[in-house]
Structure 1
């Protein structure tokens, strides 16, 4: 079974791009299955750093076909800008495939996203303001616009008219904003048709055929498990399903064809935006993690909130995704701490809780229970094998593995493509 899912096991920003890139040279297809340009991956190749927002990380691997699946929402202007930027740097983007069933983010989606978030005030969710939520809402309400609609002006116009009938009422009467003209939107969207036509394909057929022929397909999730709209810290979540099940609905490949599910786990914890975060550090340690780890959002530019490793959410990720492996990233960031706390459970209303509470109220009131592990001071960025790590770093990895419920098969010891210790092969 040559199909794998690779996803974030925390609140996103775990280093999925590095993990996907590591596998990119060994796989035939890398597929984004959900989210949009609210997700960001940083990939370092040699002395070159690439910030990818919508494109699958596999686009940087020669011989690999990158695919944007039907579960993704696509801002065509952002996509074309990203393709152009990579082409200017000598990256071949001609192999990209885009599902004709993927939904489009339109100008009215980004407008609504920004004004509605401002309108919420203190109750805001912390969205990126890029139109992701409104685009998914239209998809579920069956008034969305798909990539394939760009190639039929009549259908496109009908759909834009239907959408703006109600949205202009909301913009004008609720938010006191100017109505958006149908012709303006249609003209802008039609302008993308010729530029995108060569990329559009029946990706469900392509991917299933590839798997049936024994080719290796890697499904790449955006964001992370705790941002899943069904299984995350709702309502402070994204609008799609980054969990493993989303790979099936977001690509049209059935679950029986997936052989491994790899969770990307940072050696500490971060999150961007609002919402509960039990191990968050609002002190010098939090600032030190942020500075050493370069914890600033690839897409948003916002500083990430930082905290110690949380084994409770790692166990939860193992459960809801059916994880077979972990890829532990950014272990090098912890170098220099004499002692490193790890959250092993929560205290809620005076009781010890070792599994993620299903109640939003309980999770908001969860207090971390820590065990402290010995740290290390040696530089680990040159380590090539597990035995090359300092003993205390080895013990830290082993403790996290035992607490999290799945084997750690790779360890990131630096940002570079080659700064990874491979313990077990993913393929």
Structure 2
């Protein structure tokens, strides 16, 4: 099993890379997260954002899996399938998508609770997508939720109704204006009936059998390492394990079966929502890069915060994930700048220096190293040998600092606009 994951705060371009290489695999499997993900893929001059469905769905020969470590909102899933078929009528996810029976449901009250907590000053506001992901994982860990396989049990509706009634009453008592319980329940059960046409099974057994038969698996992560619930910039993180180890637990595959670990990072940093961001730009250059790089959330449309590449955070992400190859994206966005900056370490108030950052203290002062910028028509570049010398120097610098090779370089938004470097 090979793994693809983000090394920053998400939005690094995982979907595009997975879409490109998934044809080399037999199976593409999502191992974490829910509809808060947004993998944007461009095909035939059209763009679509996949939320729950793995990015290998466009390959007819690839079996796609939504794994046990995920949480699934059936209402959002139904809409996503409909949008996918409108995007490409030849795609039949009912035939090449398998869903884990052990994945947990996102209930309609989970989304309402998410909105309530984000808008209530009594709770820490972290800037979630308000898709109910944290509430679903919370109920999972409290052993108060329902799983996909439960939908075929005779007491399923009674169990769900009990949860919905309890959480709806809590929100009502909290003074939140709510849609009727009947309307959100009806929409949920209608989507559950739609879900029943898909193959829901023990995906751990399916995947391990595939491994024993010599089949290849690409594990697809959502969000990114610095948003990991354990190792990210808590509390401004997601609610699942976004790391390579999370791929093993989320899919039920032994770490002994892991091969390549592809880490995706931008040539600069972006972040959505709250949380420390030492290299953030607040000037016109930040605004310029946001527009040029189309840095707006593929799932929410929210403008992303922009900053220089943060090596202390990136070193940490590479370390905890055991990354074997770096996939660098958005180098073309920096084209035309006279110089580009990279944060090599932090200077702390107490005089300490941090070169590998597990946390990002608010008082951290980034120490920047300036490198010569590059200028090129990336649309004309078909081979790494044609890259500007300044960009080659930039990549060499990153390889030296991180101790891993740059295996791929994305040079544009198109599906084919990526160079294999090694």
Other structure's SS at 2:110 match: helix
Once the 2 structures are TM-superposed, how far is the Cα of residue 123 of structure 1 from its aligned partner? 4.1
SS at match of 1:198: coil
- Distance in 1 separating the partners of 2:240 and 2:43: 30
Q: Is 412-421 or 117-126 further displaced after alignment?
A: 117-126
Tell me if structure 1 keeps the 8 A contact 2:316–2:358. no
Q: How far does residue 173 in structure 1 lie from its aligned partner after superposition?
A: 2.7
**Deviation of residue 165 (structure 1)?**
5.5
Equivalenced residue count is 417
SS in 1 for 2:211: helix
1-structure distance, mates of 2:116, 2:384: 50
1:404 match: 402
Tell me: CA distance 1:357–1:240, structure 2 relative to 1, closer, same or farther (3 Å). closer
Whether the 8 Å CA contact 1:6–1:218 is kept in 2: the answer is yes
**SS of corresponding position for 2:282:** coil
SS of residue matched to 2:196: helix
Corresponding residue for 2:333?
Answer: 333
What aligned pairs does 1:139-218 form with structure 2 within 5 A after superposition? 139-161=140-162, 163-164=163-164, 166-176=166-176, 181=181, 187-199=186-198, 200-218=200-218
How far apart are residue 46 of structure 1 and its match? 3.3
Q: Matched residue of 1:364: which SS?
A: coil
What is the rounded CA distance, in whole Å, between the counterparts of 2:347 and 2:358 in structure 1?
A: 11
- How large is the RMSD of aligned CA atoms in angstroms? 1.8
Worse-superposed segment, 144-153 or 35-44: 144-153
Matches for 1:155-304 after TM superposition, within 5 Å: 155-161=156-162, 163-164=163-164, 166-176=166-176, 181=181, 187-199=186-198, 200-304=200-304
- Tell me: CA distance 1:177–1:193, structure 2 relative to 1, closer, same or farther (3 Å): closer
| Structure 2, gaps ≥5 residues long | none
Query: For residues 243 and 173 of structure 1, do their structure 2 counterparts lie closer, same or farther at Cα, with a shift above 3 Å needed?
Result: same
Q: Distance in 2 between matches of 1:208 and 1:280?
A: 43
**Matched ranges for 1:372-411 at <5 A:** 372-411=370-409
Structure-2 change in CA distance of 1:266 and 1:128 (3 Å): same
Relative distance call for 1:77 and 1:164 in structure 2 (3 A) is closer
Partner of 1:56: 54
Q: Which residue of 1 aligns with 2:14?
A: 16
**1:90 match:** 89
Counterpart of 2:100? 99
Question: Does structure 1 conserve the Cα–Cα contact (< 8 Å) formed by 2:75 and 2:187?
Answer: no
Report the alpha carbon displacement of residue 179 of structure 1 after superposing the two structures with TM.
Answer: 9.5
TM-score (norm 1): 0.93
User: 1:106-117 to 2 correspondence within 5 Å?
Assistant: 106-117=107-118
The aligned counterpart of 1:41 is: 39
Q: Secondary structure at the match of 1:130?
A: coil
Displacement after TM superposition at 1:185 (Å): 5.7
Structure 1 unpaired stretches of 5+: none
In structure 2, C-alpha distance between the alignment counterparts of 1:337 and 1:119, rounded to whole Å:
43
Q: TM-score, normalised by structure 2?
A: 0.94
| Residues 225 and 63 of structure 1, relative CA distance in 2, 3 Å threshold | same
Tell me the SS of whatever aligns to 1:392. helix
